[in-house]
Every structure is written in C-alpha cells, then in structure tokens.
Amino acid sequence: MAALLLAGIGASGCTGDTDDHRPSDAASEASAPALGGSTPAAGSSSAVKPASTATAAAQQFAQALARGDAELACGLADARLRAVAPGNSCAAAFAELAADDRYVFTQAACVDASASYKADGDPQDTADSVRVDIDCAQGYTWLRVHRVGSVWRVTDINSP
C-alpha cells in the first residue's frame, strides 16, 4: 500500500513544489486543530504543537511514523498527500510506510536525533517550501514540507 501511496503521488504529478499543487490557506488552517489546538486525532497518543520550522515539521512527521502513530502523521501531512492514499485511508497507508525498511522510519534512534535532519538548500526550495533530508546509518529519506500561513505540512516523500 505504501508503494501505492507513493505511486499515487507520482501519478498525480504533485510534488508540493509549485503553486498549482499547494493546499489552500483555508485547507491548511482548517486542518490545523489536528496539530494540537484542541483534540488529537483518533488513536494518536497526544496533540502536537505546530512546528515553527520546516525541519521541526519533518521531524514531527518522522517521529510519529517511527512511533507507529499513523493518525498523527496524517494530521501533519497536507490534504493532497492524505488524499492520494488508496481508498482514502491515510492512516493505513502511513502505517505501512512506517514499517517499510526502505525508509528511515524504522530507525527510531536516528529519527529522534535532531542531527539527522538537514535542509540543505535544494534548488526547488523557497521560503515556504523546503526539502528536509533525513540521513541515518541504514538509509536516507527526504520530505518536502510546505508552509501556509504559520502551519508547516509534509507535502511529498521520496520514492525508494
């Protein structure tokens, strides 16, 4: 299913890097309560304060997956990324992604270490769209995060 999620991302042509594929301000702000303003998503361990930087947003997302909290990861993803999940089951797709050892999410110690995260200035980066690399001893994953207003959301994940 994770492959289907990622295939859906590629098939849609959406990478979150252009204005055409960014979530609207209303969509991002409307889904902001999932980050911690009020109640946590069903099944998630706790509410999370919205990240103030792209790197922090990427780390929150990766840590949620490493802990097996796919519901929280869904709350940290933008609406477009959630929508490409097969059968519109974001939590099921992200749970499978979290267990896929081609990504770093199975390496909890690495995912928890702030030093594993770098925003190295990808040519497509802007003030509101940043690629964050997660380098671990047994692999590498990147996440693209996008800011709408004050909310950072994961918009894309590399394909293995």
Say if 26 falls within a structural domain.
no
Say if 32 falls within a structural domain.
no
Range of the domain at 126: 2-12+49-157
Q: Which helix (H) or strand (E) holds 81?
A: helix 79-83
Q: Taking the model in full, what pTM does it have?
A: 0.74
Give 102: exposed, middle or buried? Use CB within 10 Å, 0-12, 13-18, 19+: middle
Say if 121 falls within a structural domain.
yes
The residues, any chain, with a CB within 8 Å of residue 4's CB and separated by 6 or more, are 86, 93
Q: What is the pLDDT of residue 47?
A: 64
Say if 37 falls within a structural domain.
no
Say if 118 falls within a structural domain.
yes
Q: What is the pLDDT of residue 49?
A: 83
Say if 141 falls within a structural domain.
yes
Dihedrals phi, psi of 97, to nearest 5 degrees: -60, -40
Say if 88 falls within a structural domain.
yes
Q: What is the pLDDT of residue 87?
A: 74
Q: How many domains does the chain have?
A: 1
> Could you tell me where the beta strands, DSSP code E, fall in 10-150?
117-118, 129-136, 139-148
The answer to whether residues 155 and 144 touch, using CB atoms and an 8 Å cutoff, is yes
The answer to whether residues 103 and 8 touch, using CB atoms and an 8 Å cutoff, is no
Say if 78 falls within a structural domain.
yes
Distance CA 73, CA 2 (A): 14
User: Could you read off the pLDDT tens digit of each residue along the chain, which spans 160 residues?
Assistant: 444 454 444 333 333 333 333 333 344 444 443 443 333 344 444 567 889 999 999 999 999 999 999 999 999 999 988 888 777 689 999 999 999 999 999 999 999 999 999 998 899 999 999 999 999 999 999 999 999 999 999 999 998 7
